[in-house]
Chain A
């Protein structure tokens, strides 16, 4: 059983561009979580999704950020009009309902 997969591993965007981060959960896992780790800060929860549903998006900025977990395909975290403050490591975790398993992360750099 492959682990949680995230791509790309590194992403460079210029200010104002869009960033799309993908997460493929472990087989059989229907829960997906996104977290952000800013430089020198701890991991912060952003959003919790199940297939085709956003369960909790209380940690996600209200503007420019969106997430989805379609019936088919990976979960997508989308950041529109990126700014330098969006530079961070974005981690996805999947769960069968209990323990969370993390992917390797996507490191976003905004220039």
Chain B
């Protein structure tokens, strides 16, 4: 069974800093990996999807990498802004489990002005 872990659980940084969120998974036979953002009391917004054949994806100030051999993914946020404050969730799917997403518990990010 795929287990996903996210470190740190919480992170506070001053505005403008670059930061890295970490995600690890136990089963390297993943189908894809998605990073989401969740605001308090809200749904999930998909940020980036990395297919198993890819090493990284970029969207604006966000860059996500995938290393299947080590079971790790990172989400890099450049030039952080207070509006980036949210919980960031990493989720991995496996083709042998119907592509259902296995979620980590998230990293709660606070960017202070």
A interface list, Cβ under 8 A from B:
31, 33, 35, 41-45, 48, 55-56, 58-59, 91, 93, 95, 98-105, 107
Contact = CB atoms under 8 A, between A and B. Distances in A.
Interface in B68-110: 89, 91, 97-106
Given A44-B103, A98-B32, A55 B44 contact: no
Among the interface residues B32, B49, B91, B101, which one has the most CB atoms of the partner chain A within 10 A? B101
B103 A43 contact: yes
Contacts of B100: 33, 45, 48, 56, 59
A98 B43 contact: no
A103 B46 contact: no
A58 B97 CA distance: 9
Interface residues of B, number: 23
- Top 10 nearest A-B pairs (CB, nearest first) are A56-B98, A102-B44, A104-B43, A45-B100, A42-B105, A43-B103, A99-B49, A48-B98, A42-B103, A102-B43
A55 B34 contact: no
Nearest to B31: A98
Given A100-B34, A103-B43, 6 more contacts: A31-B99, A35-B101, A55-B98, A101-B46, A102-B44, A102-B45
B42 interface: yes
Contact of B46 (A41, A58, A102): A102
A78 to B, nearest CB: 19
Contact of B99 (A48, A59, A104, A105): A48
B103 to A, nearest CB: 4
